[in-house]
Structure 1
Amino acid sequence: MPLLKIKALNAHTDLLVWKITESFDVLFNSIALKEVSLTRLEGMKSEDHQKGFMAVRRLLMEAGYTDFDLYYDAFGKPHLKDGRHISISHSHDFSVIMLSDENIGADLEMLKDKTLKLAPRFMDVSHLQNLNVDDQLKKATVVWGIKESVFKIKNETGISFKDHIFEDDFNLEDKKCGVTLRFNNTTERFDILFDFIENYVFVCAFNAVSSGFASAER
């Protein structure tokens, strides 16, 4: 079964991860989609995106929900009808959802050389000093995920990754750090957890103090 479930990121939050090994037809026949979701699926040009979309719905089923429990607001942020917070991300071979009693943001990124080349556009590159190239790539990808996950929590037009979201320096071994958002004359702090799943980086952001990653269960 291609489900990797990591429980209890903190006392209020679960992470579910799906490794996509199925064909389009197997995934499609395993889920039920409401009409708007079916239309969205049919409009996707990439089969990778289609399979990622459907794998998210499989994860919802694992958590006791269906596609009919999920809706998106005018800004594209996902919500559950019962009021529990959800964040969604998918990239190539994996889809993830986070479910929580608090507002959260999740991001999943594949390690790609392009991210390191673009690092000066979105982060303080001094945080990459004294690292070998492989660790520079990992750290730059974590930082990109940090900024994506904070943006998902705030979901406000005008937030700049480079100009408004500032990560504390951190070591890859820590698998956690802090981040500051300075936007619209306000300052907010977030707690970040991150981990590595094969050649992917998973990052999550919380408004509140959180605990570390729990053990993975297949």
Structure 2
Amino acid sequence: MPLYKSITPNSQTTVKIWKIEESYDDLLTSLDLKPESLSRVLGMKSELHQRGFLSVRHLLREFGYTDQDLFYDENGKPHLKDGKHISITHSFTFSGVIISDNEVGIDIEMQREKIAKIAKKFIEYEFEYLDTEAKDYINKLTVIWGIKESLYKLFATPGMLFREHFLVIPFSIKDEETVCWIDYNGLKKRYNSHFLEFEGFTCAYVIK
């Protein structure tokens, strides 16, 4: 399937989402991968991960980039050679890429009940406004996880912890946006965060 969704949250930022329906062979055939990228994808044990990796390269093409334009730093954070900021995600049958003039992070997660079992590992402050009996509790947990994962990707700094260092301000699912903060080693920064739901998945992204 071609592009599933394209979003332009502001004039400097674009989000593109791909629904992965193609086979591994179909995704691979039309791509020109760097030797290290080809080695990486061939070394993946899961075809689901292989297809996610390759679909991201197709999303790059939607932006006008190729695999040769992408590189990773020592912390595993992706960068583009032209200096634009990029963040990448894939989960099961969806992948997403956000590219901006500003620092960004993105995450896609499947909405699953089991997230409630690990909530205490990534939430502290947010429990003050969450209703564990509400119908949208799982959806809200998934949004919070996605926002914090996006912040983590944006900073790519070892030592940052979801529970202690990232805060998500109260929100409603229908608003599709909220504010989040990082509070880490004296560093305090505010970010705008956005989220959307589709086909049992949640995509969240943050923009500096």
Q: What band does the TM-score fall into relative to the shorter chain?
A: over 0.9
Q: Distance in 2 between matches of 1:74 and 1:66?
A: 21
Q: Structure 2: any 5+ residue segments left out of the alignment?
A: none
C-alpha displacement at 1:125, in angstroms?
2.4
Residue 15 (structure 2) aligns with: 15
Q: Distance in 2 between matches of 1:169 and 1:32?
A: 44
Pairwise mapping of residues 81-120 of structure 1 onto structure 2 (< 5 A)?
Answer: 81-120=81-120
Pairwise mapping of residues 69-218 of structure 1 onto structure 2 (< 5 A)?
Answer: 69-123=69-123, 124-129=126-131, 131-133=133-135, 135-207=136-208
C-alpha displacement at 1:178, in angstroms?
0.7
Q: Distance in 2 between matches of 1:193 and 1:182?
A: 19
Aligned length: 206
Q: Distance in 2 between matches of 1:181 and 1:201?
A: 21
Q: Distance in 2 between matches of 1:24 and 1:153?
A: 29
Residue 211 (structure 1) aligns with: none
Q: Distance in 2 between matches of 1:201 and 1:5?
A: 13
Residue 51 (structure 1) aligns with: 51
C-alpha displacement at 1:2, in angstroms?
3.0
The normalised TM-score by structure 2 is: 0.95
> What amino acid is aligned across from residue 164 of structure 2 in structure 1?
D
C-alpha displacement at 1:131, in angstroms?
4.9
> What amino acid is aligned across from residue 121 of structure 1 in structure 2?
K
Q: Distance in 2 between matches of 1:127 and 1:110?
A: 23
Percent identity of equivalent pairs:
43
Distance of aligned partners of 1:6 and 1:56 in 2 relative to their CA distance in 1, 3 Å threshold = same
> What amino acid is aligned across from residue 138 of structure 1 in structure 2?
N
Moved over 2 A (4+): 124-128, 130-133
The normalised TM-score by structure 1 is: 0.91
User: Secondary structure of the residue that 1:144 maps to in structure 2?
Assistant: helix
Q: Distance in 1 between matches of 2:198 and 2:88?
A: 16
Question: Which is further off, 180-189 or 2-11?
Answer: 2-11
C-alpha displacement at 1:129, in angstroms?
1.1
Q: Which has the higher contact order (CA 8 A, sep 6+)?
A: 1
Q: Structure 1: any 5+ residue segments left out of the alignment?
A: 208-218
> What amino acid is aligned across from residue 10 of structure 2 in structure 1?
N
> What amino acid is aligned across from residue 98 of structure 1 in structure 2?
I
